[in-house]
């Protein structure tokens, strides 16, 4: 699995549409404090379905929309798209490239797209669960998270290993089936 490109418009500090292309190997994003580095990882977690405004360092979901600056008016919506390589078929979709988008408007209206088709959050979760890229996955380790993992209860730590080992999907389905 390989994240090829991230496109952001109107998300947090990114008023202009930006595209970041990743190449194989290690990519480091550097910049002064407050320049938007963490906003990029927030954008990636958000498009993968993050529902907690607090975990995105805001008070309400609307806070992810560009709020304006001295020289620019606030925007009305935010949109983030990830483009992933799927030539090895890790994601259970019949495409060699997958795009996932999420959009939210100030009115509260929001939607998700998989390869350009509107879908539910559940569809996104199903595609990414056990790929290592879900919003709860180990692929994004934010500031303070290492300490949190080390200090967490064994049961909580276990779920990180379940996701890494690819069994979380089955546990989640079993739990849902039992509650039907
Ligand atoms: P550090 O090196 O301190 O970790 P960073 O590069 O990770 O910094 P971020 O936390 O990504 O910086 O960016 C913070 C900036 O994003 C702040 O200047 C904040 O005002 C801006 N920001 C956050 N939300 C919005 C928004 N909705 N509209 C406009 N700007 C925003
Ligand atoms: Mg930061």
Residues less than 5 Å from ion ligand 2, measured at CB = 38
Dist. CA 145 → ligand 1 center (Å): 19
Does ligand 1 come within 6 angstroms of the Cβ of 144? no
Of the chain, the end-to-end C-alpha distance in Å amounts to 33
For a ligand 1 pocket test, name from 36, 68, 79, 145 the mutation site with the most ligand atoms within 8 angstroms of its C-beta: 36
pLDDT digit string, tens, across residues 87-113: 998 888 999 999 999 999 999 999 999
Mean residue pLDDT of the chain comes to: 90
> Minimum-distance ligand to the CA of 142?
2
Over residues 142-178, the pLDDT tens digits come to 777 788 888 889 988 887 788 777 787 788 889 989 9
**135 has pLDDT over 80:** no
Atom of ligand 1 nearest to the CA of 63: 27
- Candidates 55, 47, 36, 35; CA nearest to 6 is 47
How many angstroms separate the CA atoms of 116 and 12, rounded? 23
């Amino acid at each position: 699995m390989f994240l090829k490109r991230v496109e952001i418009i109107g998300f947090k500090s990114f008023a202009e549409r930006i595209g970041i292309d990743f190449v194989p190997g290690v990519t480091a994003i550097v910049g002064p404090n407050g320049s938007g580095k963490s906003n990029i990882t927030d954008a990636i977690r958000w498009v993968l379905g993050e529902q907690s405004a607090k975990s995105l360092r805001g008070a309400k979901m609307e806070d992810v929309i560009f709020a304006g600056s001295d020289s620019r008016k606030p925007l009305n919506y935010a949109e983030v798209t990830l483009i992933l390589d799927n030539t090895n078929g890790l994601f259970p979709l019949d495409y060699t490239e997958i795009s996932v988008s999420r959009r939210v408007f100030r009115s509260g209206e929001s939607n998700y797209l998989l390869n350009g088709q509107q879908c539910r959050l559940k569809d996104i979760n199903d595609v990414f669960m056990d790929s290592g890229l879900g919003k709860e996955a180990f692929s994004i380790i934010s500031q303070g998270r290492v300490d949190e993992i080390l200090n967490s209860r064994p049961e909580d730590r276990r779920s990180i290993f379940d996701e890494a080992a690819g069994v979380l999907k089955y546990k989640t389905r079993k739990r849902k089936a039992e509650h039907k």
